[in-house]
Chain A
Amino acid sequence: MFLRILWKLLGASRGRLAVALIALTSGAAVCSALLNVNLDAERKLTQEFRTLGANVVIAPPAGGNEAALADAAVLDRVAALHISQIVATAPYLYVAANSGTQPVILAGTWFDQVAKMNSWWKLEGGWVSSRDDHEHCLVGFTAARQLGLAPGSSVQLRSGDRNISLTVAGIVTSGGAEDNQILTNLDSAQALAGLSGRVSLVQVSVAGTPAEIEGVTRKLAGNLPGLDVRPVRQIAAAEGTILGRIRGLIFWTIALILILSMLGVLASMAALAMERRRDVGLMKALGGSVQHIMRLFLFEAATLGAVGGVVGFLIGVVLARWMGERIFGVAISARLEVLPITIALTIGVALAGAFPLRLLGRVRPAEILRGE
């Protein structure tokens, strides 16, 4: 009988309940979309962050007057660890060289790895695409201006009694130290310095949350004794702050949306409560306890919440995909764990919005039956 009455109640008040259901479904859809985005956004954002430069540096411990160097075999040891979060690993050998009378830093690296972790660099001219290209270099924007270099120019570099001749493929603007450097392939720099098999440091780009980055750092440090492995704190902290702010924004937006949904439900239920005063008075006169009657109304609200939650979740998945494509340029996949959260939140909102119906428990049957 309970379900029979519940069904009839839903049918009898379908107009008002439809308004409440629309409010609940809308709220659930936005919550579901934001929760899906939140769960996926972290992964997407950390992937995006990986194009903003290295966040872990492996370097030999500093000591003495000579710049410390590491064995290039460290690159093989890092690769052998098969750490999935590592997006790119770029070795750097810095060589103090001269171009004519002008001193300049030559940085030898792997351009394919540099490209992965510095996609935001501005480039005028071409990129050096192969590790075997020993003829081309990239020149930092400031260095190019000082040395009067442009794409296609030749530059002669000297270090000690060794010389190297390179053609400028492109001018890069990084906003960092690279703007003052000439970058070429690692082999070329090692040959000029006479430091075959040596690197000054290795930059590593690790995807993940600040905690995951710390984990990778610890793993690398444990496997690379004698080397300093340290996260680039500013970048890790900045990433953490951005993720935290996005999470906060999503949380408060969800809270606001749920409050607005609840107000919508509240308005509908207040009108419904006025309509049901007579029925409640009658039910109480017939011996219906407040618990009996409230159970009906709360189940009715919970049913609305559950339906609104499921429908809202489905709409939210579509919305999340659209938001993902617009914001991150990738489709955000539906997370099933969002479904129970959305349903629970929507049922909670429906029950809170059903507050006016709870006040019907105070109805005095004698007054209602008198027509007051």
Chain B
Amino acid sequence: MSPLVQVEQLDKRFGEVRALDHVSFEVEAGEWIAIMGPSGSGKTTLINILGGLDHPSAGRVVVDGLEIGNLGERELTRYRADKIGFVFQQFHLVPYLTALENVMLAQYFHSITDEKEAAQALCRVGLSDRLSHVPAELSGGEQQRVAIARALINQPKLILADEPTGNLDETNEAIVLKLLHDLHDAGHTILVVTHSQAIGNLADRRVELEHGRLARISAPSLAKD
């Protein structure tokens, strides 16, 4: 069985700057991968390319059998709607939509909306009493949970999370990590960009980048529960 994600000799340049330099790795379906490295090492660039938000300069990226580099804008949009669930550090919720509507927005772009299903997704992340609240009325942790519910609503093949706990306090970080852990246990494939050793230790494998190059791929030294 072929891996869900194949990255081969991936290059990305911004003018003279080489953000990614011949990066290669694979991710099996159901794996939790932590992408780690110092600031400017190319982590977000890598996740943007995997999510179809950016184009590679060279190399191959294949996700669920689709070579992303060959996709046009329309196909990339469809790819994002069908196969990817994004969780961002800044949450990125639409400020004038309620928590429920933010989740339904992803459904709307994917196919058809189902309010009941969206409400259930929010219940699963513990926000059953926050459905009609707009982001300004939610705490950071609650906003991130809305974003997680939104990322999951279309059953994506791949969940891409960019520093999902970067803006959260310890309590909310624990809640979000528990959610990611549960998703992993449920068989979702998760790629998390993080600086946090704690999150890195929860992953099946760590892909570490330095100056755009793949430094190492390792299994966490601490045992997971």
Question: Which residue numbers of A lie inside 8 Å of B, CB to CB?
Answer: 1-2, 4-5, 8-9, 11-12, 278-279, 282-290, 292, 364-366, 369-371
> Contacts A8-B96, A288-B77 known; A283 to B105 CB distance under 8 Å?
yes
- A288-B81, A366-B53 given; name 19 further pairs at CB < 8 Å: A1-B108, A1-B113, A2-B108, A4-B104, A5-B101, A5-B105, A5-B108, A11-B96, A12-B95, A279-B95, A283-B94, A285-B53, A285-B92, A286-B86, A287-B80, A288-B77, A290-B77, A369-B53, A369-B90
Contact count A vs B, C-beta below 8 Å: 75
- What B residues does A9 contact at CB under 8 A? 96
Within 8 A of A (CB), among B4-61: 44, 48, 51, 53-54
Nearest chain-B residue to A289 (Cβ)?
A: B77
Q: How many residues of chain B are within 8 Å of chain A by beta carbon? A: 31
Q: Which residue of A lies closest to B94 (CB)?
A: A279
Residues from chain B with Cβ under 8 Å of A284 in the complex = 77, 80
Q: Determine whether the beta carbon of A365 is less than 8 Å from that of B74.
A: no
Top 9 A-B residue pairs of the complex, sorted by shortest distance between their CB atoms: A287-B81, A12-B96, A366-B53, A1-B113, A287-B80, A287-B109, A288-B109, A1-B108, A366-B54
- Which residues on the B side are within 8 Å of A1 (C-beta)? 101, 104-105, 107-108, 113
Q: How far is it, in angstroms, between the C-alpha of A173 and the C-alpha of B88 when the chains are bound?
A: 90
- Chain A interface mostly helix, strand, loop or mixed? helix
Note all chain A residues with C-beta closer than 8 A to B107.
Answer: 1
Cβ of B211 under 8 Å from chain A? no
B53 nearest CB across to chain A (Å): 4
Are the CB atoms of B105 and A286 closer together than 8 Å? yes
Contact A286 B113 (CB under 8 A): no
Q: Are A286 and B80 in contact (CB under 8 A)?
A: yes
- State A1–B114 Cα separation when bound (angstroms): 10
Q: Is the CB of A366 within 8 A of B77?
A: no
Among the interface residues B81, B86, B94, B107, which one has the most CB atoms of the partner chain A within 10 A?
B94
